[in-house]
């Protein structure tokens, strides 16, 4: 069985739900608009009548409160935003006004930002980058991070040429949003790779067909919410909460963990982990949470608890949670449910109030053996079909009659379900609160955006 096309709730709707963080540009009225067009001239002044001929030409004229409209067309060449800084309530926005493709013919990243603040990048398709699609960092000066950045409605396809290249690379970026975007096919790196990033919100995205991992947060990253996304056909670790980072790249330099307080809540995971991966990997991660997710046909492992960065200063992977998740699987697809590595503290993890349904086992299946020193689960449902609306067709909403309704434990969540609805009390297990919606969003097929 291969789960089909799905229904996608976008972050634009989620932001009206309970407690979801709101981007700083919501409601902003821009003071000034500059225009860029493929029909522009080098002598253009940025007006609608005389637009600039490239984004690079427009950038030096941007000041706080400026919106740069990039009109439809294909724009070739790398773009660097160096020390470009808006202000609170006066951001600088780079916005695609129509179907805009950015690409480069040189061995470079398409769009680079260094020490930027209050910047919005919205609506572009970045195609075939030889290195990264987008690379935003602190310029190597760890005390001046890039911060207050919104990446919205982007498509990043096929970045990388065989090295450790990513669709989106973030290093030393704080207070950031990645929303309503589609990332796929980036070569041997991650779809999003975060090193030393803090206070981020990643929501409403469609991550699929990666070469390696999906979303990774490491190098001292902390307080990042990964919410209401689709992860499909990621062969490595769909979410790598932690990782392995050279000591000189940590932000802060003395961080005692690879990652802390990474929360993965209300997402859908489809067929991830086929090349030795998992839906979630806790890797040198302190107090990281995987909750209220719907996991379909996981491969190799459902979860991994690992320690790849060692030394006296580093805490082991510890105090993680795996709760209120629906897991529909084939036991034959898995080496084990959880892979526990050396140097970790599995006895501090909490697994519980999950639904486990093995499609290749009979009604007498007693459920997963976690092993590795993880405490036994409590409150879980074993071998009960969750009652999805259409498992084969990929609709994982559940009716009020589903056994997962009200079967979760109270977590005090400050974010809604996948569709932006409030959780019940107690909540339904999985990414969707019980009850059907009249209007639904469909996951776009490849190339359909």
Give the domains, in start order, of the chain with CATH numbers.
11-30+78-382 (2.160.20)
**pLDDT value at residue 14:** 54
Q: How would you classify residue 166: left for phi > 0, otherwise alpha for psi between -120 and 50, otherwise beta?
A: beta
Model pLDDT, residue 406: 98
Element (H or E) spanning 357, and its range? strand 355-358
CA–CA distances in Å: residue 217 to residues 191, 223, 265, 274: 11, 10, 15, 21
What pLDDT does residue 363 have?
94
The dihedral through the CA atoms of 320, 326, 329, 331 has a sign that is: positive
Dihedral sign for Cα 371, 374, 379, 385, please: negative
Q: Largest Cα–Cα distance of the chain, in whole Å?
A: 76
Supply the pLDDT for residue 21.
Answer: 87
pLDDT at res. 105: 83
pLDDT at residue 107, rounded to an integer: 86
Q: What is the pLDDT tens value at each position of the chain, 449 positions in all?
A: 434 444 444 565 555 445 678 999 999 999 999 999 999 998 999 999 999 999 999 999 999 999 999 999 999 999 999 999 999 999 999 999 999 999 998 889 999 999 999 999 999 999 989 999 999 999 999 999 999 999 999 999 988 877 788 999 999 999 999 999 999 998 778 999 999 999 999 999 999 999 899 999 999 999 999 999 999 999 999 999 999 999 999 999 999 999 999 999 999 999 999 999 999 999 999 999 999 999 999 999 999 999 999 999 999 999 999 999 999 999 999 999 999 999 999 999 999 999 999 999 999 999 999 999 999 999 999 999 999 999 988 999 999 999 999 999 999 999 999 999 999 999 999 999 999 875 555 555 444 44
pLDDT at 1: 40
Q: What is the pLDDT of residue 19?
A: 63
Q: What is the DSSP string of 326-380?
A: EEEE-GGGBS-SEEE-TT--GGG-EEES-EEEETTS-TT-------TTPPPPBS-
Buried b (16+ CB within 10 A) or exposed e, 59-85: beebebbbbbbbbeeebeebbebeebb
The confidence score (pLDDT) of residue 16 equals 44
The model carries a pTM of 0.95
Distance of CA 115 to the CA centre of its chain: 22
Q: Which residue's structure tokens are 């061995």?
A: 107
Please give the pLDDT value at position 2. Answer: 39
Which tokens hold the place of 254? 């003395």
Alpha-carbon span 91 to 88, nearest angstrom: 6
Please list the residues that pair with 286 across neighbouring strands: 260, 318
H/E segment holding residue 57: helix 55-58
Rounded Cα–Cα distance for residues 419 and 113 (Å): 32
The H-assigned helical ranges of 68-210 are: none
- How many Å apart are CA 263 and CA 244, to the nearest integer? 19
């Amino acid at each position: 069985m291969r789960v089909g096309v799905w229904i996608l709730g976008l972050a634009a709707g989620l932001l009206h739900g309970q407690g979801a963080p709101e981007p700083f540009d919501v409601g902003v009225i821009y003071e000034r608009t500059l225009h860029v067009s493929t029909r522009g001239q080098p002598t253009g002044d940025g007006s609608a009548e005389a637009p600039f001929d490239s984004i690079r030409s427009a950038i030096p004229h941007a000041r706080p409160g400026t919106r740069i409209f990039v009109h439809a067309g294909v724009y070739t060449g790398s773009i660097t935003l160096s020390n470009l800084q808006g202000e609170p309530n006066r951001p600088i926005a780079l916005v695609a006004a129509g179907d805009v493709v950015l690409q480069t013919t040189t061995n470079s990243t398409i769009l680079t930002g260094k020490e930027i603040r209050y910047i919005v990048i919205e609506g572009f398709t970045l195609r075939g980058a030889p290195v990264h699609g987008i690379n935003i960092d602190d310029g190597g000066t760890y005390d001046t991070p890039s911060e207050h950045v919104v990446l919205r409605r982007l498509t990043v396809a096929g970045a990388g040429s065989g090295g450790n290249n990513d669709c989106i690379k973030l290093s030393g970026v704080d207070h950031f949003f990645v929303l309503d975007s589609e990332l796929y096919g980036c070569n041997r790196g991650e779809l999003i790779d975060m090193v030393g990033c803090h206070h981020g919100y990643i929501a409403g995205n469609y991550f699929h067909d990666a070469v390696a991992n999906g979303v990774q947060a490491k190098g001292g990253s902390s307080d990042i919410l990964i919410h209401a996304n689709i992860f499909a056909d990621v062969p490595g670790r769909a979410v790598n909460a932690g990782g392995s980072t050279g000591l000189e790249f940590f932000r802060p330099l003395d961080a005692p963990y690879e990652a802390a307080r990474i929360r993965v809540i209300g997402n859908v995971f489809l067929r991830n982990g086929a090349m030795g991966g998992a839906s979630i990997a806790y890797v040198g991660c302190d107090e990281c949470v995987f909750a209220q997710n719907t996991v379909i046909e996981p491969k190799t492992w459902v979860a991994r608890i690992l320690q790849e960065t060692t030394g006296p200063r580093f805490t082991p992977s510890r105090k993680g949670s795996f709760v209120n998740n629906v897991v529909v699987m084939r036991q034959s697809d898995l080496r084990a449910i959880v892979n526990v590595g050396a140097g970790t503290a599995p006895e501090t993890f909490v697994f519980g109030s999950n639904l486990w349904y093995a499609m290749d086992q009979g009604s007498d299946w007693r459920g997963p053996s976690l092993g590795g020193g993880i405490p036994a689960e409590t409150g879980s449902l074993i071998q009960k079909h969750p009652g999805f609306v259409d498992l084969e067709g990929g609709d994982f909403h559940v009716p009020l009659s589903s056994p997962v309704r009200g079967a979760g434990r109270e977590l005090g969540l400050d974010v809604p379900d996948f569709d932006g609805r409030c959780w019940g009390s107690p909540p339904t297990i999985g990414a969707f609160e019980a009850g059907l919606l009249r209007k639904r969003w469909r996951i776009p097929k490849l190339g359909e955006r």
